[in-house]
Amino acid sequence: MREAASTQSAEEPGWTRLTGDGLGKMNERDLAPLAQDRMQKLAEWLWQSNLLANRLVEIPLAYLLAEGVTLQCKDDDHQKLLTKFWNDPINNWPLKLMGRVRGLSLLGEQCYTCHVNDANGFVRLGYLDARQIGQVVMDPDNPEQPIGVITKKDSKGRYYKYRVMVLGEDTELFSKRTTEIRATDFVDGECLLYQLNKFPNGSRGRSDLLGQMDWLDAYDNFLFNEIDRIDYLRSFVWDVTLTGADEDTVKKFEKSFKPPAPNSTFVHNDSVTLEAKSPELQAADTSESARLLRNHVLGGATTPEHWFGGGGDVNRAAASEMGEPTFKVLTARQNFLKIMLEEIGRYVLWQDAKRSSVTPDWSEEKWQVTAVFPELMNKDVTKFAAAMQQVATTVVTLIDNGLLTQETGLQLVADVAQRFGQDIDAKMELENAQTAFKTRQADKAKADSFNLDAATRAALATGNAQPGGNANGA
């Protein structure tokens, strides 16, 4: 037995556990369990105590969610169900969404336990604290797909195993052995799991602050040390010089000397000199050091310096350009949240459909859910308006000279119009515009007296007819 144990390892064929790395040894793509716990605790602590860490979390939240989010569906019945779910007193997404997204950013994971009403299929979601997640089990046949969540043991030694929900039947989505694992091992309920900053085959999410934690703490320590240095620089001593005095005279004067109070007088002869002296620490201006350290943290979070009060040499034009990478990162996070909320919405519709034994076709418009987020930033429409005018003038000139087709010209205008949030189908718009133009031309021709026959014009001149009629007023 000793020889066999020494010659076969867990990586050799035949030794892999049934559930792979998910229930076996720790996944090499993840932090150690103790490191995962420490990361989550530090992230929460930094958010509460470190101003810079707090802003790195709260500023993106304001851009992403400040104006609110809604779930929308073009099917009226489905829209009513989504609205009921969204505004349910327990779900209460309008109130709880910001806190949930904040927790996702800080802890790197979000897990909702699913509670479905057996009578009407209505869904309510419970919140499972990410710090209570002990293990996320991955599909042994697909290490990218989580299949279950195991909680840590509570004070009574109890733990729970939740099946990670995927929109579809297990028999259609998973292999036979994975289906059996989900059916036999994870029997305490269903959950929806969302994770950030992880490798495809990693099982645990990571905090947005993980890379900056040490630097955030260093920046805090730097500022506290600066406070101490400022206190030292503001301190001083009275330097008393007694000319020609012996040691006894000096000691006697020291005992009787009282430092002068502010706005008081100090009377002495030419043998006594009194001077206030402060320390010369030879400390250079540390503002550049503070800026260097702060920008290192801000750069890691793709946050411009002027967003945290450090203007530097930034003007309005430069600030606008510097914000573009940040808004790209925020757009990526918004897309993640959009997919997450839309999947939750589809789960709500799916549970309702089960009552009628209906299988949703997610490609159909009636089953499609859209999470509507606010605009990340207010667009400067003045430059787009100027661009629209220039493009329109150029397009008309090219069409008049036979160098561009009308449809292509309208497509160029449509590209600029997208900056205003207008989505124009150039081909359809051209057809509609030409039809409307012909109608207007026909109406104008009817009303134009120069297009009438001579008898009608004569009758109009004498007041015996109306435009568009004949000489008899018909």
Establish if 326 belongs to a structural domain.
no
Q: Are 369 and 345 in contact (CB under 8 A)?
A: yes
Check pLDDT > 70 for residue 6. Answer: no
- For 229-255, how does the pLDDT look when each residue is reduced to its tens digit (9 = 90+)? 777 777 778 888 888 888 888 888 888
Specify whether 262 is located in the same domain as 203.
no
Specify whether 141 is located in the same domain as 244.
no
The CB-based long-range contact list for 317-321 (8 Å cut-off, 24+ gap) reads 320/380
The C-alpha atoms of residue 397 and residue 72 are separated, in whole angstroms, by: 43
* 3-state class percentages of the chain: helix first, strand second, coil last, to nearest 5: 50, 10, 35
Specify whether 268 is located in the same domain as 175.
no
Give the mean pLDDT of 52-67.
Answer: 91
The DSSP secondary-structure symbol of 309 reads T
Lowest mean pLDDT among 5-9, 221-225, 379-383, 442-446: 5-9
Specify whether 93 is located in the same domain as 139.
yes
Lowest mean pLDDT among 14-28, 137-151, 383-397: 14-28
Specify whether 147 is located in the same domain as 243.
no
**Domain's final residue, options 174, 191, 209:** 209
Nearest to 367 by CA among 379, 388, 387, 350: 350
Establish if 293 belongs to a structural domain.
no
For the chain, what percent of residues have pLDDT higher than 70? Answer: 81
DSSP annotation string for 16-56: S-TTGGGTSSPPTTS--HHHHHHHHHHHHHHHHH-HHHHHH
Give the mean pLDDT of 299-324.
Answer: 69
**pLDDT in the model for residue 122:** 94
- For 69-123, how does the pLDDT look when each residue is reduced to its tens digit (9 = 90+)? 999 999 999 999 999 999 999 999 999 999 999 999 999 999 999 999 988 889 9
Residue 440 structural domain: 381-462
Q: How confident is the model at residue 30 (pLDDT cuts 50, 70, 90)?
A: confident
Phi–psi pair at 413, nearest 5 degrees: -65, -40
The CB-based long-range contact list for 93-97 (8 Å cut-off, 24+ gap) reads 93/69, 94/68, 97/65, 97/69
Specify whether 193 is located in the same domain as 70.
yes
The C-alpha atoms of residue 71 and residue 343 are separated, in whole angstroms, by: 11
The C-alpha atoms of residue 351 and residue 122 are separated, in whole angstroms, by: 7
**pLDDT in the model for residue 232:** 73
Phi–psi pair at 194, nearest 5 degrees: -135, 135
DSSP annotation string for 51-76: HHHHHHHHHHHHHHHTT--EEE-SSH
Give the mean pLDDT of 51-55.
Answer: 91
- For 335-381, how does the pLDDT look when each residue is reduced to its tens digit (9 = 90+)? 999 999 999 999 999 999 988 888 888 888 889 999 999 887 666 56
- Mean pLDDT (the chain, rounded): 82
Nearest to 470 by CA among 449, 456, 453: 456
Specify whether 261 is located in the same domain as 393.
no
Establish if 216 belongs to a structural domain.
no
Q: How confident is the model at residue 1 (pLDDT cuts 50, 70, 90)?
A: very low
Specify whether 28 is located in the same domain as 99.
yes
**pLDDT in the model for residue 102:** 95
**Domain's final residue, options 190, 209, 228:** 209
Establish if 296 belongs to a structural domain.
no
Q: Checking DSSP bridges between strand 123-128 and strand 109-116, what pairing results, if any?
A: antiparallel
- For 256-272, how does the pLDDT look when each residue is reduced to its tens digit (9 = 90+)? 888 888 888 888 888 88
**pLDDT in the model for residue 174:** 93
Establish if 287 belongs to a structural domain.
no
Establish if 339 belongs to a structural domain.
no
Establish if 68 belongs to a structural domain.
yes
Tokens at 78, concatenated: 């489905």
Specify whether 253 is located in the same domain as 153.
no
The C-alpha atoms of residue 144 and residue 164 are separated, in whole angstroms, by: 13
pTM of the model: 0.70
**pLDDT in the model for residue 473:** 46
Specify whether 200 is located in the same domain as 245.
no
Partners of 133 in the β-ladder: 151
Specify whether 49 is located in the same domain as 174.
yes
- For 72-84, how does the pLDDT look when each residue is reduced to its tens digit (9 = 90+)? 999 999 999 999 9
pLDDT top residue among 306 and 191: 191
Specify whether 66 is located in the same domain as 155.
yes
What is the count of structural domains for the chain? 3
Number of H helices, E strands in the chain: 15, 10
The C-alpha atoms of residue 204 and residue 225 are separated, in whole angstroms, by: 36
Establish if 468 belongs to a structural domain.
no
